[in-house]
Amino acid sequence: MNKPLGIILLALMCLVAKAGSMDEMSRISYPGGKCYLYRVYLSDKKGTSYTLLHPEAFLSLRALKRRARQHIIVDSTDLPISSAYISAIKGKGFQIVNESKWNNTVVIKTRSVKALNQLTQFSFVRKTLKVFTSPDSIDDRQRSSFHKQITSLQHDDKSFYGVAAKQIMSLNGDSLHLAGYMGESMLIAVLDGGFMNVDCIPVMQLVKIVGAADFVWPPSINIYKEMDHGTMVLSTMAVDMPHVYVGTAPKASYLLLRSEDERTESLVEEDHWAEAVEYADSAGVDVINSSLGYHEFDDESTSHKYCELDGNATLISHTASMLASKGIILVNSAGNDGMGSWKKINVPADAKNIITVGAITPEGINSPFSSIGPTADGRVKPDVMAYGSPAVVTGRGTIINDMGTSFSSPIVAGLVTCLWQAFPELNAYDIISLVIRSSDRYNSPNNIFGYGIPDFWKAYQMGRKMVNSMQ
């Protein structure tokens, strides 16, 4: 793969090593032919058919309960896009492929750039931005075969966690589990580029998957035949096979959301991501894991600059920075650019009030590929660190060791979920603070390790003190 992927993919050496097990791909014409996608910024939400007096019309009961528990008021950003504006745009012949209510934007499809002139007559259109130009052809991915029984080149039968023992114990997550917190009643959304064979791998049949959705345009016929990056990410949290492999939140429920198209790299994927997290919010998720990141695109003129890494300049980071205020914790991978010319974290890893996770080796030193901070506005990033070469379950149902902050992130996300299960009375900001304050470099952070390696049992103990002081 010679294109930079939004998903924080594996180091080159691992890609080579896995070449024999990569899913077979061939080239096909781009679905729908030549087209362009434009982000349209709207001025307001006048004409919406929804009202803040009846949020149950656009937010689930679970979402409303989560907000009520954290004393969060539903506001105008939560209102869906104006249906009147949607109708007016469609009336000009444009297809709407994406909506973001928090940003008050839509993405439209057109076959003619000149057709955009039709939007200038609308007073509610503030500006437009081209976010995608279709390629001539793309890879056609086929579903790979899989093992009917999980296979592994390594074993650790003595540990309850099997081969996942060290990556959990390094964060003292096993102590949190022993206290009875393994994610029950919690809902985690996983944003990724595909979940190859999650619907058929036997070990994945035990995972509590409550739903799946695709926000990429054009959507996949089946997200379970797309890349297995999401499968591996999910496994670090969700697999529950004692003495073989146990993830960091094996009793949680999961919502699988595809927002990344690995075959192209463009700004529109940030729009896909924003729509996906808004959907996750409306479904009532507690925690989101996003092993995704962007800075360089196929259209180099749209690539991000370091000065944009302020947690707000890009649409994706602006959206990410809103999540805690909606009562959701975002855990995001830092990126794998530490050995490249960019070196810095990607977006939305620069977002505010999230947990950005970098990678360490089993010896506790930083993995050289792990992206570094600071943000453009001087904040410490990454926030915390975790294993960057953990054991994962692939889309073929095989346990391997893989590399990337893509996997550091969900290991932490699962334990964040378990911690929040222990203290449902605390809000998103409280839990984020506990995780960071429990980390071993909290008093002397830097832009390589952030605040260091979190200790989730220490975070639990601090949480108990916090809750007791509130009573």
What confidence tier does 9 reach under pLDDT thresholds 50, 70, 90? very low
Strands 398-401 vs 151-152: parallel, antiparallel or unpaired: parallel
Taking the mean position of all CA atoms in its chain, how far away is CA 467? 29
Statement: residue 18 has pLDDT above 60: no
Does 241 lie in the same domain as 128? Answer: no
Residue 386 lies in a domain: yes
Same domain, 340 and 371: yes
pLDDT of residue 1 exceeding 70, the answer is no
Q: How many H helices and E strands in the chain?
A: 11, 18
Confidence of residue 153 (pLDDT cuts 50, 70, 90): low
* Domain presence at residue 8: no
> Does a structural domain hold residue 21?
no
pLDDT band at 349 (very low <50, low <70, confident <90, very high): very high
Backbone φ and ψ for 282, nearest 5 degrees, come out as -65, -25
In the predicted model, is pLDDT for residue 118 greater than 80?
yes
Q: What is the CATH number of the domain that holds 355?
A: 3.40.50.200
256 CB-contact burial (10 Å; exposed 0-12 / middle 13-18 / buried 19+): buried
Decide if 278 is inside a domain: yes
Give the pLDDT of residue 376: 98
The boundaries of the domain holding residue 65 are 36-134
Together in a domain, 341 and 260? yes
322 with 191, same domain: the answer is: yes
Q: Are residues 46 and 191 in the same domain?
A: no
pTM: predicted TM-score of the whole model, two decimal places: 0.93
Report the half-sphere exposure of 396 (CA within 13 A, side-chain side). Answer: 14
383 within some domain: yes
Per-residue pLDDT band for 3 (boundaries 50, 70, 90) equals very low
Q: Domain for residue 9, yes or no? A: no
Which of 134, 163, 197 finishes a domain? 134
pLDDT class of 144 with cuts at 50, 70, 90: confident
235-267 tens-digit pLDDT = 999 999 999 999 999 999 999 999 999 889 999
The Cβ of residue 344 has, within 10 Å, a number of other Cβ atoms equal to: 23
**Does residue 287 lie in a domain region?**
yes
pLDDT in tens, 394-448: 999 999 999 999 999 999 999 999 999 999 999 999 999 999 999 999 999 999 9
Between the alpha carbon of residue 164 and those of residues 95, 169, 194, the distances in Å are 46, 9, 22
Query: Residue 352 carries which side chain, given as an amino acid letter?
Result: K
When divided into structural domains, the chain yields a total of: 2
Is there a single domain that holds both residue 129 and residue 149? no
- Sign of the torsion angle spanned by Cα atoms 332, 333, 337, 338: positive
Do 169 and 262 lie in one domain? The reply is yes
Say whether both 199 and 284 belong to one domain: yes
State which amino acid sits at residue 36: Y
Residues 275 and 207 in one domain: yes
**What is the average per-residue pLDDT within 212-222?**
94
Question: In which band, very low, low, confident or very high, does the pLDDT at 120 lie, cut at 50, 70 and 90?
Answer: confident
Q: Dihedral of CA 435/285/102/96: which sign? A: positive
Mean pLDDT of the chain: 92
- Do 326 and 287 lie in one domain? The reply is yes
456 touches 413 (CB < 8 A): no
Q: Which of 102, 134, 166 is the last residue of a domain?
A: 134
Mark whether 294 and 173 lie in a shared domain: yes
In a domain? residue 17? no
> pLDDT for 54-103, tens place per residue?
999 999 999 999 999 999 999 999 999 999 999 999 999 999 999 999 99
Question: Does 363 score more than 50 pLDDT?
Answer: yes
Shared-domain flag, residues 430 and 462: yes
Among 73, 106, 134, the domain-final residue is 134
118: domain CATH number is 3.30.70
- Cα(454)–Cα(452) distance, rounded to whole angstroms? 6
Rg of the Cα trace of the chain? 21
